[in-house]
Structure 1
Amino acid sequence: MSGKTSGRLTALQAALAAEHAAVYGYGVVGGRIREGRRAEARAAYDAHRVRRDALAREVRDLGAEPVAASAAYALPFPVPDSAAAVRLAAELEERVAGVYADLVRATGDARRREAAGALREAAVRAVRWRGGSVAFPGLAERAGTAREPAATGAGPSATGAGSATPTA
């Protein structure tokens, strides 16, 4: 496998891991969010499932085994109520946007357009959840916050580019 293909595969696996964590996180959001925002949470959950499935197919098309979802993920903070669920949804989207920014950098042509579209969608959802935006969504180094790089693509990091940390 060439270095370019290897870098692309690593970025795809990281995006897939982030999507797995986002799907899990939205399960928590859906259980805590107030009725008035439940449809929004469901739409985001469905969007992440579709992206997750497409990424898994793309990884398989490259001849690799897609990174598996963890059985559970540690959330970045407790989610006891609807307000915390809204914060979690915004956090999930910001972390997914960061991973897609990495995928934009690692790929070209049609895959880059797809990754840019996913980055845009996550950034828009984050703004809707948070009620405000950042100057460069998905680019923590430009927004003034540090973001750890995706470690191995085996799972997202609670403080890094993924959505939550897998638990044993």
Structure 2
Amino acid sequence: MNADDVEKLRKALAAEHAALFAYGLLGARTAGSLRDRMSAAFDAHRARRDQLRGFITTRGGRPAEPDASYALPFFPSNATLAAKLAAHLENGVTAAYLELAAAQDVSLRRYAALAMQEAVTRAHSFRPGQPPAFPGMPAAAPPSPSPSAVEDGE
């Protein structure tokens, strides 16, 4: 058992617990095709949660149970905000799996990469536009102009 890998699995499990809580709320407050997408996301996260629990247990760890409630960054009062929250959730899940991608166990790295791919795809489906270059990683600050560019008036 690699204790560091188990801790990474626990962090991914915590992200899945939080996502399930939020998708349960979102699914109950949406309708039509958006609700169908929220339900599909809920099912996908439930499957990942169950897999993570199994990975932790087989490595001798004890999976954490979900909290009774999770704080949301905002309360979605309409479909647009529900989709925005769903994209935000998927970004958080991606970040948790990004850490798991550094596991020593090669099979966990592969698992994390696939989970990130799914989360990024879901996030993109909830918001229009181009996804970030490296989903799950903090955005880089824009480069500051070079001194010669400032002098030249660029």
TM superposition score category, shorter chain reference:
0.7 to 0.9
Larger radius of gyration: 2
What secondary structure sits across from 1:74 in the alignment?
coil
Percent identity over paired residues: 42
Q: CA–CA distance in 1 between the matches of 2:104 and 2:90?
A: 21
2:132 corresponds, among 125, 129, 134, to: 134
Q: 1:57-76 to 2 correspondence within 5 Å?
A: 57-76=54-73
Q: How many aligned residue pairs are there?
A: 140
Relative contact order, CA 8 A, sep 6+: which one is greater? 1
Q: CA–CA distance in 1 between the matches of 2:6 and 2:87?
A: 27
Task: Tell whether the 8 Å contact from 1:24 to 1:73 is kept in structure 2 after alignment.
Answer: yes
1:96 corresponds, among 93, 110, 119, to: 93
Q: CA–CA distance in 1 between the matches of 2:105 and 2:91?
A: 22
| Cα deviation digits, residues 81-131 of structure 1 (max 9, x gap) | 211111110011000000001100123311111110000000111111112
User: Which letter maps to 1:102?
Assistant: E
| Cα deviation digits, residues 61-85 of structure 1 (max 9, x gap) | 1111101100011111121221111
1:109 aligns with 2:103: no
Q: CA–CA distance in 2 between the matches of 1:101 and 1:91?
A: 15
Task: Tell whether the 8 Å contact from 1:96 to 1:119 is kept in structure 2 after alignment.
Answer: yes
Superposition CA RMSD, Å: 1.3
Task: Tell whether the 8 Å contact from 1:9 to 1:59 is kept in structure 2 after alignment.
Answer: yes
2:38 corresponds, among 24, 37, 41, to: 41
Q: CA–CA distance in 2 between the matches of 1:78 and 1:41?
A: 16
1:29 aligns with 2:26: yes
Q: Which stretches of structure 1, 4 residues or more, deviate above 2 A after TM superposition?
A: none
* TM-score of the superposed pair, with normalisation by structure 2: 0.86
State the match for 2:50 in structure 1: 53
User: Which letter maps to 1:144?
Assistant: A
Structure 2: unaligned runs, 5 residues or longer: 142-154
User: Which letter maps to 1:61?
Assistant: T
* TM-score of the superposed pair, with normalisation by structure 1: 0.79
Task: Tell whether the 8 Å contact from 2:101 to 2:109 is kept in structure 1 after alignment.
Answer: yes
Structure 1: unaligned runs, 5 residues or longer: 146-168
Task: Tell whether the 8 Å contact from 1:33 to 1:83 is kept in structure 2 after alignment.
Answer: no
State the match for 1:151 in structure 2: none
Question: Residue 144 of structure 1: CA displacement?
Answer: 2.5
Q: CA–CA distance in 2 between the matches of 1:33 and 1:75?
A: 17
Task: Tell whether the 8 Å contact from 2:5 to 2:105 is kept in structure 1 after alignment.
Answer: no
2:121 corresponds, among 120, 124, 129, to: 124
